[in-house]
């Protein structure tokens, strides 16, 4: 059974006295159970709208959404018992950590306090249990929101930028916590992120969304093929250059250039020789593998 | 749970009702009103204060989550809207009882107001007021779900608007038409008239309690259905996401 099936979903925001905005344009997706699925895209691409539709917060203008085999908008109550979402770090400011989890647990009809205790321990919030939400650090606010998202042991959880605006060490810790919990519960995760390393590290498959459309979908390796090269060579020149007499695809930026090649080790001597023959003095050469970030930039700019 | 840590929630429950009671009571003494006339306006003060406290707790179902930008977490939970309202209303009712008791004790101590209702009638009056407050609270939630943040102001003004028409300090019979008829369509009018009938003031219509309860039940059903439809509409237009930050 698929965790999420979404067919030709359109979302048009129409608000009182405001211009309508089309946020999703015919999005179709299939996500397997137990999968960690990433949704990447630039700001305003429709990521948050998409997971809001998939999590039943929004009702799409058109299209079908099935969660765990059920129509999300005909069996909404049943679907909501099996899913949860963490989006942003906002929670009622006056509630203390324990109270907050207890409040949301009650919204799911959960009265077993040991579930709350376990999540407080899992997310290392023990010493803050009596701290008001407003007085928590950004990292602990995010931990609390994630703990809240796992209260009902969801079969499908939607995480909207779970490590946004966090220090790298805290972000790493939070990623580890998420992985531990989803491994234990075999949870399907749909994650949006701006962090390419995070997407590459966590996600089994990734969809790129731009202007409300899915423009590419696949594993990180499959997506890297969009660049049509495996590696890149970054060459820094002693002086700015206006053009290069080289047949390899490149991007020129003043006194540096990036060459996209399949085998950097083989291509580098040839490129350096051609540059030298053209009278261009090379200061340094660096070889790198293509990353998801390159794909992100390529897809964001050219598709 | 949402409001219990909020200082202003406690302030709202004690400070404004006391200020209103003392100032209106003193005004009555200054104007040499009779004991029953002072009772008439004190009943109005008590009703206004209690209705405001209970309705604001129901409105907080939307308002606090909207302010803290966490409305989506309530929406994504399987809890239906009517249960959220009921929970908030029960909490508001507890605060309302505290405020009601305090106001009755103080008005009796300061202005010799004697509470002449039998316990069962007082209970019905209180439940009637609390239920009317729930209606105002749900109506506020509906306005927020339709107009978004622009409707926030109604949380503090709607009670006052309703109170103008339901005769808080005067009988609705003095209102010109169509306001008089409008006043009679508000359940609080009848609950106030029921309370005041124990102090020698005749109600405009016979059986004010039955009319008040009947109106409350009808409005409650209509408002709950409207709230569900408004929520659905807000999910379709994307307003819920805007209210969630």
Tokens representing residue A2 in the block = 């698929």
Q: Is residue B110 part of a domain?
A: yes
Indicate yes or no: CB of B74 within 8 angstroms of CB of A107: yes
Q: Is residue B1 part of a domain?
A: no
Name the closest residue on chain A to residue B235, using Cα atoms: A58
Angle between helices B187-197 and B208-237 (to 10 degrees): 150
Of A59, A80, A107, the CB nearest to B236: A59
Q: Is residue B177 part of a domain?
A: yes
* Residue ranges of A 133-172 with Cβ closer than 8 A to chain B: 148
CATH 3.40.50 for domain A226-302? no
Query: Mean pLDDT throughout B166-193?
Result: 89
Q: What is the model's pLDDT at position A16?
A: 66
- Residue pair A179/A36 in contact (Cβ under 8 Å)? The answer is no
Q: Residue A66: pLDDT band by 50, 70, 90 thresholds?
A: very high
Q: Is residue B137 part of a domain?
A: yes
Is B14 a residue whose pLDDT tops 90? no
Domain that holds residue B213: 7-243
Interface membership of A10 toward B (CB under 8 Å): no
SS3 call for B19: helix
Q: Write out pLDDT tens, residues A109-150.
A: 999 999 999 999 988 899 999 999 889 998 889 889 999 999
Query: Could you tell me how many CB contacts below 8 A there are between chain A and chain B?
Result: 96
Cβ-Cβ contacts under 8 Å, B88 against chain A? none
Q: What is the model's pLDDT at position B11?
A: 75
SS3 call for B170: coil
Indicate yes or no: CB of B6 within 8 angstroms of CB of A94: yes
Distance from CA of A96 to the nearest CA of B (A): 9
Quickly list DSSP for chain A.
Answer: -EEEEEEEEEEEE--TTS--EEEEEEEEEEEETT-EEEEE--TTSSHHHHHHHHTTSS--SEEEEEETTEETTTSHHHHHHHEEEEESS---TT-BHHHHHHHHHHHTT---HHHHHHHHHHTT-GGGTTSBGGGS-HHHHHHHHHHHHTTT--SEEEEESTTTT--HHHHHHHHHHHHHHHHHHT-EEEEEES-HHHHHHH-SEEEEEETTEEEEEE-HHHHHGGGS-SEEEEEEESS--S----SS-EEEETTEEEEEES-HHHHHHHHHHHHHHTTPPEEEEEEEE--HHHHHHHHHHH-
Of A16, A49, A95, the CB nearest to B1: A95
Is A288 a residue whose pLDDT tops 90? no
Q: What is the model's pLDDT at position B230?
A: 93
How many angstroms separate the CA atoms of A18 and A279, rounded?
A: 59
Name the closest residue on chain A to residue B80, using Cα atoms: A77
What backbone torsions phi and psi does residue B211 show, to the nearest 5 degrees?
A: -65, -45
**Structural fold of domain A2-91+154-218:** Rossmann fold (3.40.50)
Instruction: Map tokens 């067919």 to a residue.
Output: A7
Is A182 a residue whose pLDDT tops 70? yes
Residues of chain A with CATH 3.30.70: 226-302
Q: Which of B241, B242, B243, B245 is the best substitution to test chain A (most A C-beta atoms within 10 A)?
A: B241
Q: Provide the number of structural domains found in chain B.
A: 1
Q: Residue A239: pLDDT band by 50, 70, 90 thresholds?
A: confident
Is A291 a residue whose pLDDT tops 70? yes
Interface membership of B8 toward A (CB under 8 Å): no
Share of chain A above pLDDT 70, in %: 97
Q: Which of A17, A57, A150 is the best substitution to test chain B (most B C-beta atoms within 10 A)?
A: A57
Q: What is the model's pLDDT at position B203?
A: 82
Indicate yes or no: CB of B241 within 8 angstroms of CB of A93: no
Interface membership of B90 toward A (CB under 8 Å): no
Q: What is the model's pLDDT at position B225?
A: 94
**Residue B87: enclosing H or E segment and its boundaries?**
helix B81-111
Q: Write out pLDDT tens, residues B70-112.
A: 888 988 999 888 888 898 899 889 888 888 888 888 888 888 7
Interface membership of B86 toward A (CB under 8 Å): no
Residues of chain A with CATH 3.40.50.300: 2-91+154-218
- Residue pair A114/A130 in contact (Cβ under 8 Å)? The answer is no
Q: What is the model's pLDDT at position B17?
A: 85
- Residue pair A31/A218 in contact (Cβ under 8 Å)? The answer is no
Pick from B129, B106, B105, B108: nearest CA to B212: B129
Of A57, A92, A132, the CB nearest to B235: A57
Name the closest residue on chain A to residue B70, using Cα atoms: A91
Query: Mean pLDDT throughout A195-210?
Result: 86
Indicate yes or no: CB of A85 within 8 angstroms of CB of B232: no
The answer to whether the Cα torsion of A44, A49, A54, A59 is positive or negative is negative
For residues A253 and A60, the model is more confident at A60
Q: What is the model's pLDDT at position A28?
A: 95
Beta bridge partners of A160: A87, A192
A117-121, A175-179, B55-59, B79-83: range with lowest mean pLDDT: A175-179
């Amino acid at each position: 059974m698929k965790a999420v099936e979404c067919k030709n979903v359109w979302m048009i925001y129409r608000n009182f006295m405001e211009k309508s905005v089309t946020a999703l344009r015919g999005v179709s997706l299939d996500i397997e159970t137990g999968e960690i699925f990433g949704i990447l895209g630039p700001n305003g691409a429709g990521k948050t709208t998409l997971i809001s539709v998939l999590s039943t917060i929004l009702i799409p203008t058109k299209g079908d959404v099935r969660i765990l085999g059920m129509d999300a908008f005909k069996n909404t109550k049943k679907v909501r018992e099996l899913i949860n979402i963490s989006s942003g770090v906002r929670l009622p400011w006056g509630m203390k950590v324990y109270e907050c989890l207890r409040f949301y647990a009650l919204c799911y009809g959960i009265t077993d306090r040991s579930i709350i205790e376990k999540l407080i321990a899992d997310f290392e919030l023990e010493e803050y249990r009596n701290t008001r939400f407003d007085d928590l650090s950004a990292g602990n606010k995010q931990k609390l929101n994630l703990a809240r998202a796992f209260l009902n042991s969801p079969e499908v959880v939607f995480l909207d930028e779970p490590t946004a605006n966090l220090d790298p060490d805290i972000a790493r810790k939070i990623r580890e916590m998420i992985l531990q919990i989803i491994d234990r519960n075999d949870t399907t995760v749909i994650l949006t992120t701006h962090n390419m390393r995070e997407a590459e590290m966590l996600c089994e498959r990734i969809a790129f969304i731009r202007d409300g459309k899915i423009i590419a979908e696949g594993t990180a390796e499959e997506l890297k093929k969009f660049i049509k090269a495996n590696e890149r060579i970054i060459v820094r020149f002693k002086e700015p250059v206006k053009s290069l007499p080289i047949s390899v695809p490149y991007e020129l930026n003043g006194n540096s250039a990036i060459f996209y090649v399949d085998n950097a080790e083989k291509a580098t001597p040839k490129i350096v020789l051609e540059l030298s023959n053209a009278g261009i003095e090379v200061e340094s050469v660096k070889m790198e593998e293509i990353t998801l970030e390159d794909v992100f930039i390529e897809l964001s700019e050219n598709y | 749970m949402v409001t219990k840590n909020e200082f202003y929630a406690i302030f709202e429950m004690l400070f404004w009702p006391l200020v209103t009671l003392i100032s209106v009571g003193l005004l009555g003494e200054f104007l040499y009103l009779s004991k029953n006339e002072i009772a008439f306006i004190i009943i109005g003060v008590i009703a206004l204060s209690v209705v405001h406290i209970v309705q604001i707790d129901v409105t907080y179902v939307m308002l606090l989550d909207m302010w803290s930008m966490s409305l989506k977490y309530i929406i994504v939970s399987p809890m239906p809207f009517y249960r959220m309202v009921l929970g908030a209303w029960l909490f508001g009712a507890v605060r309302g009882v505290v405020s009601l008791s305090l106001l009755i004790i103080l008005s009796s101590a300061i202005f010799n107001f004697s509470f002449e209702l039998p316990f069962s009638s007082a209970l019905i009056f209180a439940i009637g007021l609390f239920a009317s407050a729930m209606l105002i609270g749900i109506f506020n939630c509906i306005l927020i779900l339709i107009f978004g943040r622009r409707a926030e102001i109604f949380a503090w003004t709607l009670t006052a608007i309703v109170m103008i028409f339901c005769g808080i300090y005067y009988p609705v019979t003095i209102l010109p038409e169509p306001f008089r008829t409008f006043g009679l369509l508000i359940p609080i009018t009848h609950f106030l008239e029921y309370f005041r009938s124990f102090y020698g003031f005749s109600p405009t219509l016979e059986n004010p309690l039955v009319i008040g309860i009947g109106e409350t039940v009808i409005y409650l059903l209509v408002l709950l259905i409207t709230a569900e439809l408004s929520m659905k509409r807000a999910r379709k237009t994307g307003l819920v996401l805007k209210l969630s930050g």
